Structure 1
Amino acid sequence: MTSLSLRPHRLTHAVRISLLCLLPAVALAQESPPASPARTLDAIQVTGTRIKKAELETQVPVQVLTREAIDRTGYSSVADVVQHLTASGASLSTKLNSSGNFGFPPDGGGVGAGAATVDLRHLGPKRVLVLVDGIRWVNESSGSGVGSSVDLNTIPLALVDRIEVLEDGASSIYGSDAIAGVVNIITRKNADGGHVEVQYGDYNLKGGDTSSVDFSFGRSGERAQWIVGGAWFKQKEISSAEYEWARVPVPGTGLANGSSATPGGRTVFAPADGNNTYGGLCPLARDADGNPIPGSATCNITLPNDASFAGGARFPDDFIRFGTANRFNFAPYNLLLTPNERKSVFGQVRFEFTPTLSGWARGLYSERDSANQAAPEPIFLGTDAGVYNEWAETKLVIAANNPYNPFGFDLSTMGANPNLFLLGRRPVEGGPRRYEQEVKTWYAAAGLDGTFEVNQRTWNWDINAMTSESKATQTNTGSYNIKHINQALGDPAACAAIAGCVPLNLFGGPGTITPEMLAWISPIVRDRSKNTLSQASANLTGELFDNWAGAVSFAAGAEWRRYKGEYHPDPITIAGEYNGVPSGATIGSYSVKEAYVEFDVPLAREGFWGKSLDLSIAGRYSDYSTFGGTNTGKLGLRWQPADELLLRMSFAQGFRAPSIGELYGTLSRFDATIVDPCNNAASTTPKCVADGVPPGYEQANPQISVVTSGNRALEPEESRSFMAGAVWSPGWAEDSGWASKLDLGVTFYRHTIGKAIQAPDAQAIMDRCIDSRDPVACASYTRNDRGQIIRFEDILANLGTINTSGWDFSAHWLLPETGWGQLGFDWKATWVTRYELVNESGQAEPKGPGVETNDSAIPEWSSTLAANWDLGNWNASWTLRYIDRLRESCAGANGFDICTDSANDLHWLGATTYHDAQLSWRTEAWMKGVKVSLGVNNVFDKNPPICLSCTLNGYDPGTYDLPGRYTYARLSLDF
C-alpha cells in the first residue's frame, strides 16, 4: 500500500471509522490491512465500487457494521440494526401496526404489514438498494399490493458477517434504486465448527417478549468452504391498551378525534316531514343571517352511550343528538408491537477448482408469520359515506318494514332526493379486524469467478445468476360484506328469498347484532401477492496500465434483470362487495439490460499534491422494457495531502425506475386522516363558501377515503448527489498519555431528486385549495351539496422535487490500555440542514427538518455516543442515543391544554435521549468458546414524546423506541 507509506495502519483504520454513523453500542472492531510493505495484499471489493484492489479507501464513505458491533446492540434483526443509524429515516417495522384504515399507500405497493425496511437520508425505502454479497435481493410481498422495497426480515441475522452501508448515490455502479444509498449485507462464509446462539428479551410492558435461536455449522479446507444454518425468531404482541397515551385516538383530546361510527350507531338523515324537528332533536338549517330554512330539518342522532335495545329502538324517544361524547374510542384495539415469527434455513458452498478458478452456490428459504390488528371495522352508509362503494352510497334502501328500522319510513340513498346522508355503526359484536400474513421467500444463486494475467497484471472476473421469489397470503377476519349488509337492511321478504340472509339490526346499540346476523355479513377475506426477481451478470476488473502516478484500474460488466409482481385481492373485493378498503388486481413485469464501466486513475503521488491524488470515473447505460434507455455517471476525487489527512468528494447522477405497483397498480383506496379547514365555525368564511361549503357544515368523519392508482405513463426519477468529506488522524494524539488513537471525520452531503414519483399529501392538497384556490389542488376532491367530501383522488405522477442536504460528524477516541483495561469512545451525528419536498404547484409540502408529519419525522440532529470497555474476558458498553426536538401541527388538539402553542398551532416534541447498556463475558475454557451477554436498552425507561398528529398509539414509532425498557440475555456457544 505505497500511497500510505508512513502510517498505513492508522489512516486506513481512521478512514473506515470516521465515516461510520454507528448504531447503539458500536465500538469499531474492523480488521486493518497488514502494515508490512513486504506482503502483497489480496485484491478485494468494497461497497461503492466494482474495482477490486488492495486499498480499501474510496472516494465515498462506507460504513462497516462489524459482527461484534452488531452483537453489542442486542437487536435480533437486520432491520433493527440499520434503522438505528443516525442517517436512517422512518420505515416499516414491527412497531408500526400498518393494516386497517391505512389501506393502500399512494405508491401502490401495499402496506407491507409485518415487513421491515430501511430508509436512508429520509428519502424513502424505495430509494435504497439492498444487496446481499453484492447481488440484489427480491422485493417484499405484502399480501396487499406489489411492494417496491426489500423486507429485511427475510434475511436472518445469523447469516450476517457484516453490513456495509453506502450513503451516497450509486446508480452508475449498481443501477436503479441506489439514489439514497446502498445497504450491502455480507454473509458468513468461513466456518470451522458449529455456532449456537440463544437470546431472550422482554419489555416491562405486558407482552412483547422475544425469543431467538441461531445455528450454523461449517468447515473450511484448502479448496472448499461450506456453511449451513438456521434461525428462529418469535416476538409476541403488545396491545395499545398497555400504554397510557395510546388509549385514545389523540392524546389529551378525549374523544374529540374519535370515530363517528359507534356501537350505538350514528344516523344523519332528513325526516319525512322536513319541518318536523321532533322537539329540537332534528333542527332546521339556518341561512347566512341565522334564520331557519323551512323544510330543512336534519336529524343527527345516536343512542345514549351503552344503551341497547334488542327488541328495537323507538324514534324519537330513545335517541339523542350526536355529540363528541358519543364518539368511539378505537385506539385500545390497536397493537403497540405486532407479533412476528420467522424461520429460515440457509447454506452456501465455495470450491476452488484450480488456483485461478472457483465456483460458489448459496440458497435460502424463510417463512414469516405476522399479524396486525385494528378496531372493529366501521360500517359507513349514505350519500356522505365517501367509501367509493355503490352498495353503500347509491343503491341502498333501508326499508320501512325492516323490523329494526325505528323511523317508520324508507331511508334511501337512491334517486334525485336521497334522505340518508350517513349511517355509521361500529359492530363491536364481530370483534377487532385481524390481518394475518404468511410470507414465504426463497433465493438461489450460483457463480464462477477467477483470475488471469494480462501483460503481467492480474485481472479478476466473475459471472453469476440468481433467482428468487417472495409470496404472501393475508387473511383478514372481522371485516364485512357490504352487499350482504345492503340486502339485510332492505325488504325482509327480499332478504328471505336469499339463502342465509337475515335482517340486520344497526339501530339497537351494542350487543344487538346477533351471531346469525354476523354469519351473513362476515366473510373471511384472503389476499395474495408475489414478487419475483431473476438476474444474471458478468464483471471484469483489473489494472490496465501505469501512468505517471501509478496503475490505472478499471471494472466493466453487464447485467440483466427481470421483475415480476402480482397482487390478487379476494373475489369479494374485486366484485365491489368488500366493506373495507377496495382494490383491484395488479399484474405486471419488466426487464432491464445494463452495461457499466468504472475507472480509477491516479493523478499524483508523493509530490506537490501531497501523498496521493486519485480520480474515479463511472458510467452506466440501462435499457428498460417499460420506458427505454437512460445514462448515469459519477466522478470522485480522493486526495491525501498528508499521512494524517484524507479529503474526498464525489458527484453522481442517479435514477429510480417506476416499480410494478407504481406502474400497474389498479384503483385502490387509502383512508387518510384529514382535518377539513372548513369544519364548524369556519364554514362561513369566504374561502370555504367558495369551496362549496354551506353554513353550519360539520365534517362527518376525519377519515377521508382517498383513491389512488398506478400510472403507466410514469417516467424514472432522476437525481444528483454530491458528497465532500475529510478524515483527520492527528499524529500528536497517537500513543500519547491520553490517547492511543484519535480519528475525526466530517462529511457534507446533498441529494436532489427530480420527477419524484408521488401522490401529494392529501391534507396539504385540501389546505392549499382552501388557502389559495389552487386549481390543481381543488380539482383533486369533490364535495356534495352538504359540503361533505365524497371523492378524493390522488393519482401517482412525476410531480415532485426533493432537495436535502446535511452533515455527518464522527469522532473515535481510544484511550491507552492500562491495568484496568482499555476504554474507547465513538461519537456519530447527523445534522439535516435542508429537506424540501416541492409539489406539482411549486409549493413546499410540510415535511422538513425538525418537523413531525404523517407519522414520520426528520430530526435536525441525531447522534450516538458509545463508550466501550475491554478487560480480559469482560466487555461493557454504554450508549447514548439522542433525537432532537420536533414540532408538529396541533391538528385536532388545537385548543386543548396538551397543545403547547395553540396560538401558533404548534406542539413541541421534546428532545429525547435513550441509554443502552450491555455486559458480556467470554471464555474459551469450554468447547471452543462460550459467551454470555446481559443488556438493557432504554435503561431509564424513557417514554417517547407525545405526538398529536400521529394516527396510532400517540407516538411516532419510526423515530422513537417502543415505550418501555427492554432487557435481554444471550448465550453463544462455539463447538
Structure 2
Amino acid sequence: MLPRPDRLGAAVRRALLLSVLSPAAFAQQAPAPAPEEGARTLDTVTVTGSRIRRAELETQVPVQVLSREDIDRSGFTSVAEVVQNLTASGTALNTKFNSSGNFGFPPDGGGVGAGAATVDLRHLGAKRVLVLVDGIRWVNESSASGVGSAVDLNTIPLAIIDRIEVLEDGASSIYGSDAIAGVVNIITRKDVDGASVQLHTGDYSDLDGGETWGADLGWGGSSDRARWFVGASYFKQKEISSLGYGPASVPVPGTGLDNGSSATPQGRFVFQDPNTGEVYSITPDTGVPDPTYLGQPACPTERADDFHCFTNADRFNFAPYNLLLTPSERKSVFGQVQFDFTPTFGAYARVLYNERESANQAAPEPIFLGTDAGVYNEWAETRLVISAANPYNPFGFDLTTVGPDANLFLLGRRPVEGGPRRYVQEVETWYAAFGLNGLFDVGGRQWSWDLNLVRSESKAEQTNTGSYNVRRINEALGDPAACATIAGCVPLNLFGGVGTITPEMLAFIQPVVRDRSSNSLSLVSANVTGDLFDNWAGAVAFAAGVEYRDYEGEYQPDPITVAGEYNGVPSGPTQGQYDVREAYAELLVPLAGEGWLGESLDLSLAGRWSDYSNFGSTNTGKIGLRWQVADEFLLRGSFAEGFRAPSIGELYGTLSRFDATLVDPCNNEASTTPQCVADGVPPGYEQSNPQISVVTAGNIDLQPETSRSLMLGAVWSPAFADEASWSQALDLGLTFYRHTIDGAIQALDAQTILNRCISTRDPVSCGFYERNDRGQIVRFDNILGNVGTIRTDGWDFSADWRLPEQAWGQLAFAWKTTWVTKYELVNEAGQPEPRAPGVEINNSAIPETTSTLAAVWRGAGGWQAAWTARYIDRLRESCAGANGYDICDDSDNDRNDLGATTYHDAQLSWGTDAWMKDFRITLGVNNVFAKDPPICLSCSLNGYDASTYDLPGRFWYARVGFGF
C-alpha cells in the first residue's frame, strides 16, 4: 500500500491539475538542463488558480482536468464541444446555433458571433470566463457582426491540445478581469517525439447532412538544448437543413402557422382607403391558393374577388429555410520551440494561424413597410410613397407613410424569388508569443522567472446575400417617371404574389452586403516565484508580477447599412481601444505542520491592482485555506473578489436592432382589459407580427462589474478502498460554490419587460417601449446597463473509482454531477428576472441537475472501450403563445415541461505498435439510442435549445492515428 500522503497526492492528481502554469507555455516548466555537472531541475509545478509553484498538488480551489485521453474518448471534434459538456457549463454559442438573420445584434455590441463557439461556466455568460492558452490570454472572437467580448474556441485546433484545465472559481486577483465565473486553461502539446497523423470522419445517421472529416499532422522532437512541435489541422463540417427534423419545420412546434410571419410571398396589405376611410387587412388570392379559401365567403373588408382577408392561415412558414447545423471549415498551422541557452536560462516562441469559413442561413428576407413596421428605418416607416401610377399598384391611389396623410400601416412581402439570406464568414486569427524564462538562486533558494510578449489579432469578413436595399425599394415603388431617371431602376411589383418579382427587379433592389470586424490584443508580462523563507511550519512561497494589455476592436458594417438603406437588421459602426496596467502578489503561508491540527494547514493570499485607461484603478483580493485533516481527507475553501471591465462592444457599440419573437399580452380579447386600455391599446387590437424590433446599444456610461465568490470543498480518498479486493482506488470530492455579481452588465429580457408593464403598470418597464395610435409597438429600446445583481450557488460532486486489474482487463468509473440550487437576477428596481434553475427561456436553460457517468474498460492486446451517460434534468418554460394547443402541457398556468434527457455515448478502440508506432483505430457513436431533444416552444429556432441539447439522432465517427 502506498504511504497515505502519496495516496492523496495521486488522488488529487486524478481530480485536479497536472499543469505547470506561469504565463508562458515553457515558463510552465523550467528549461531542460544540459547533462552537465551542477545542472538543476525544477521539481515543482504551478496549478491553475495560483501562480506559485509547488511540489504538492493539493490546492485551495478545485480544478477539473480533461486529459488528451478524455478528449479523445468524448468523440467531439472541437474544444467548444468538450468544455460545453462539462456539468458546470451553461449556455454558450456553438455551430448548432443558426445565429444570423433576426437574431440581429445583442446589446453587448458583440454581434451574433456567427460560426463561433464559446464557453460559459456557472451560467454566468461567456464574457465572464477567462480563456488562457498555456497560461496566457487569448484574443477575443471576431465574426464580422460586432466587437466580441468572449474567446472563439474554434480558433484553437483540438489537435494541438495536451489537456484542458478548468478552474470553476473566481480568480480575478490571480489573472485579472473576466475571471469571475472561472478560468479555462488550454495546455498545448510540447514533449512530442516523432511525427504523427490522425484522420477522422463522422456523420449523423438519422439526419440528411452533417458529415465531418479532417486530418491532423504533427511533428516534434528535442535535442540537448531545444524542444519543438509543429502541427497542421484541417476540419470540415457540412450543414444540415431544418427540413430534416420535424419540430424544426414550423415556427413553433404544435401551433401550425399561428406563429408564422405576416410577411408572406403573396403579400399582406394593411391600409386605409383615403376615399372611404375603411381599413383593410388583405392578401391576394394569386399564386397557389390555399385550399382553406376555396369557397370562402367574402369578408367585409375584401376589395375584390382576387383578395381575401388576412388570417393566421396565411402566415409564412419561415422555419424550413433555417439550418439545424451550420457548415464550418477550419485550417490551422501551429508551431512552438523552447531553446535553452544554459541550464538556467532559456527562450521560447509560439505561433498559430487559423482560418475559418462558416455560414448561416435564414428564410428569404421579409420586406416590411408602413407606419406599423417598427423596423427603425425611415425609408420604411416615414418616407415611402407607393405611387398610384406604379403599374402594379392595384388600389388606384397612393399608399404613403409620409405625414398626416399616412395611410399605409403595413405592407409585408416575402420575396422568395430572391432566395434565402445566406451569411458567409471568413475569419483569420493569428497569434505570436515570445519570451524568456529561467532560474536563479537567492540565499540558496531556487526562484523562477519569465518574461512574455504577445501579439494576436482576429479579423473577419461576412458576406450577406439575399438582402435588400430599402431606399431602392422606395424608388422602384414610386413614380415610374422618377424611376426611369435612375440607372437600373424598374418598377417593383410587391402586389402580384409569388413569381412576380422579376430578375430585373431583383438586380436593382438586391445588393451584396459586406461587413467586417477585428479584435486585437497586445500583452507584456513578467513574473517571478519562489520561496521567501521558512517559518515554523514550512517554506513561505511567493509570486509576483506585472502585466500590460492593450485591446483594440472595431466593427464596420456595409456602407448601405451605415447610410440607413439596409432593409435587414440595421447597425452602426463600432470602434474602441483601452489599455490596462496591473501588478499582483501572491503568498502561500503554511500555518501548521503535522500535529494536533492534522497533517497540515496552509493559508494563501493574493491581491491585484489594476489601472484602466478608461475607468481608473481598482483592487481585488483572494484568501484560501487548505487543511489536510488526515492523510486521506482534505478540506479547502476560498473567498475571492472579482472584477470585469466592460468590453469595447459593451461600451462603444452603436444603435443596432434585433427582431425578438414576443407575445403581446394585449393581443385580441385582452385588448379591452384595464391594463391594456391604460397602455393605449384600442379595442380589437391584433398584433401584426410576432417579431418586434428591439433597439440595442452599448453604453459609454457603464461601470465595471464587481463580484464575490465563495468556495468550500472536501476531497476524500478512503483507505478501505485502496488496494482492496473490490477497489484499487476511490476518490470522492464535494464542493459548494456561490457567486454574487453586483452591477451586472446586461440587458433585461424584452418579454419580461412587456409582461411586467401590462400586469403591474410599472413606469420603468412601460418606459422601454411605445405604441402608435393603432396599438402596435413601434419602439422598443433595450439599452445595455448595470442592471442589478446576479446570485447563484450550487454543489459539485465527483467520484472516481478504479477496480483492481483482472485477467480480462480493468474497469474505471468517473462520475461528476452539478446541482444548481439558486440563480437569480434582480434588476436595479429590485424586481426579479425570470431566469432561474429548472427554467428554459430565450434559447437557454439552467438545469437544476446535470450529471455525467463514464465507464472505461482497458483490456489486454490494446483494446479499450467506454460508455458515457450524460444527464440533463427536466425543465419548464412558458408556452410562448401556444396556450390552448395540445403541445402545451398546462395552458391554464402557461407552462410546458421539457422532460429529463439522458444521452448515451459508446466507443471502442484498438491499438498496437506492431504495425507502426502508436497505431490506434477508434469507432464510436454518440447518442446511441437516438434520443431527440425535448420540444421547446419558446426557442426561436428549430424547436429545441441548441445550447443545452444534442442534435437529434445518432452521430457515429471513426478515427485512425499512427506515428513514425
**Common fold by TM > 0.5:** yes
Corresponding residue for residue 370 of structure 2:
382
Deviations 1:114-162 (A, max 9, x none): 0000000000000000000000000000101000000000000111000
Question: 1:78–1:391: structure 2 CA closer, same or farther, 3 Å change rule?
Answer: same
Shift of 1:5: 9.7
What secondary structure does 1:606 align onto? coil
Kept after mapping to 1: 8 A contact 2:15/2:63: no
User: Is 1:88 aligned to 2:89, yes or no?
Assistant: yes
Shift of 1:315: 4.8
- 2:704 aligned to 713, 716, 722, which one? 716
Instruction: Output the CA distance in 1 between the equivalents of 2:921 and 2:745.
Output: 48
What secondary structure does 1:392 align onto? helix
TM-score (norm 1): 0.94
Corresponding residue for residue 227 of structure 1:
229
Shift of 1:775: 1.2
Corresponding residue for residue 496 of structure 1:
484
Shift of 1:9: 3.0
Deviations 1:704-754 (A, max 9, x none): 111111111111000000000001111011111111111111000000000
What secondary structure does 2:622 align onto? strand
What secondary structure does 2:491 align onto? coil
Amino acid of the structure 1 residue aligned with 2:791 = N
Instruction: Output the CA distance in 2 between the equivalents of 1:857 and 1:603.
Output: 43
Kept after mapping to 2: 8 A contact 1:529/1:565: yes
Instruction: Output the CA distance in 2 between the equivalents of 1:926 and 1:595.
Output: 54
Q: How does 1:260-271 map to 2 (within 5 A)?
A: 260-271=262-273
Shift of 1:94: 0.4
- 1:758 aligned to 737, 746, 750, which one? 746
Shift of 1:272: 2.3
Shift of 1:928: 1.7
Deviations 1:506-548 (A, max 9, x none): 0000111000000010000000000000000000100000111
Instruction: Output the CA distance in 1 between the equivalents of 2:721 and 2:155.
Output: 44
Kept after mapping to 2: 8 A contact 1:18/1:744: no
Shift of 1:306: 3.7
Q: How does 1:118-517 map to 2 (within 5 A)?
A: 118-204=119-205, 205-274=207-276, 295=277, 297-304=278-285, 306-307=287-288, 315-517=303-505
What secondary structure does 2:448 align onto? strand
Instruction: Output the CA distance in 2 between the equivalents of 1:782 and 1:643.
Output: 66
Corresponding residue for residue 23 of structure 1:
none
User: Is 1:931 aligned to 2:920, yes or no?
Assistant: yes
What secondary structure does 1:958 align onto? coil
Shift of 1:303: 1.6
Corresponding residue for residue 538 of structure 2:
550
Shift of 1:42: 1.0
Corresponding residue for residue 116 of structure 2:
115
Shift of 1:76: 1.2
Instruction: Output the CA distance in 2 between the equivalents of 1:146 and 1:376.
Output: 27
Deviates more, 1:792-801 or 1:524-533: 792-801
Amino acid of the structure 2 residue aligned with 1:717 = E
User: Is 1:852 aligned to 2:840, yes or no?
Assistant: yes
User: Is 1:15 aligned to 2:3, yes or no?
Assistant: no
Kept after mapping to 1: 8 A contact 2:16/2:65: no
Corresponding residue for residue 277 of structure 1:
none
Q: How does 1:56-67 map to 2 (within 5 A)?
A: 56-67=57-68
- 2:550 aligned to 562, 569, 577, which one? 562
Kept after mapping to 1: 8 A contact 2:5/2:632: no
- 2:897 aligned to 900, 908, 912, which one? 908
What secondary structure does 1:712 align onto? coil
Shift of 1:417: 3.2
Question: 1:809–1:948: structure 2 CA closer, same or farther, 3 Å change rule?
Answer: same
What secondary structure does 2:885 align onto? coil
Shift of 1:926: 2.1
Question: 1:642–1:179: structure 2 CA closer, same or farther, 3 Å change rule?
Answer: same
What secondary structure does 1:750 align onto? strand
Deviates more, 1:420-429 or 1:55-64: 55-64
Amino acid of the structure 1 residue aligned with 2:709 = S
TM-score (norm 2): 0.95
Kept after mapping to 1: 8 A contact 2:286/2:306: no
User: Is 1:638 aligned to 2:635, yes or no?
Assistant: no
* Runs of 4+, deviation exceeding 6 Å: none
Q: How many residues align?
A: 929
What secondary structure does 1:892 align onto? coil
What secondary structure does 1:495 align onto? helix
Shift of 1:966: 0.3
Corresponding residue for residue 964 of structure 1:
953
Kept after mapping to 1: 8 A contact 2:518/2:554: yes
Kept after mapping to 1: 8 A contact 2:544/2:585: yes
Amino acid of the structure 1 residue aligned with 2:213 = S
Deviations 1:841-884 (A, max 9, x none): 21111111000000000000000011000112110000100000
- 2:732 aligned to 723, 741, 744, which one? 744
Deviates more, 1:8-17 or 1:438-447: 8-17
Kept after mapping to 1: 8 A contact 2:364/2:419: yes
Deviations 1:70-123 (A, max 9, x none): 110111111111010000011110000000000101211000000000000000
What secondary structure does 2:625 align onto? strand
Instruction: Output the CA distance in 1 between the equivalents of 2:690 and 2:828.
Output: 25
Corresponding residue for residue 784 of structure 1:
772
Kept after mapping to 1: 8 A contact 2:467/2:510: yes
Shift of 1:41: 6.6
Instruction: Output the CA distance in 2 between the equivalents of 1:816 and 1:213.
Output: 37
Deviations 1:860-917 (A, max 9, x none): 0000011000112110000100000000000121110010111110000000000000
Corresponding residue for residue 518 of structure 1:
506
- 1:673 aligned to 657, 661, 678, which one? 661
User: Is 1:814 aligned to 2:802, yes or no?
Assistant: yes
Kept after mapping to 1: 8 A contact 2:286/2:496: no
Corresponding residue for residue 283 of structure 1:
none
Instruction: Output the CA distance in 2 between the equivalents of 1:846 and 1:663.
Output: 26
Shift of 1:478: 0.1
What secondary structure does 1:416 align onto? helix
Amino acid of the structure 2 residue aligned with 1:197 = Q
Amino acid of the structure 1 residue aligned with 2:759 = D
Tell me the C-alpha RMSD between the 2 structures. Answer: 1.4
- 2:570 aligned to 567, 578, 582, which one? 582
Shift of 1:560: 0.1
Shift of 1:838: 1.1
Kept after mapping to 1: 8 A contact 2:200/2:959: yes
Instruction: Output the CA distance in 1 between the equivalents of 2:78 and 2:806.
Output: 35
Amino acid of the structure 2 residue aligned with 1:647 = L
Deviates more, 1:427-436 or 1:738-747: 738-747
Shift of 1:632: 0.3
Kept after mapping to 2: 8 A contact 1:308/1:510: no
Unpaired runs of 5+ residues, structure 1, are 21-38, 275-294
Instruction: Output the CA distance in 2 between the equivalents of 1:379 and 1:810.
Output: 53
Shift of 1:18: 4.4
Shift of 1:57: 1.5
Instruction: Output the CA distance in 2 between the equivalents of 1:554 and 1:673.
Output: 54
Kept after mapping to 2: 8 A contact 1:16/1:62: no
Instruction: Output the CA distance in 2 between the equivalents of 1:672 and 1:767.
Output: 14
What secondary structure does 1:501 align onto? coil
- 1:942 aligned to 920, 927, 931, which one? 931
Kept after mapping to 2: 8 A contact 1:308/1:511: no
What secondary structure does 2:430 align onto? strand
Shift of 1:19: 6.4
What secondary structure does 1:847 align onto? coil
Deviations 1:691-712 (A, max 9, x none): 0100010011111111111111
Shift of 1:307: 4.1
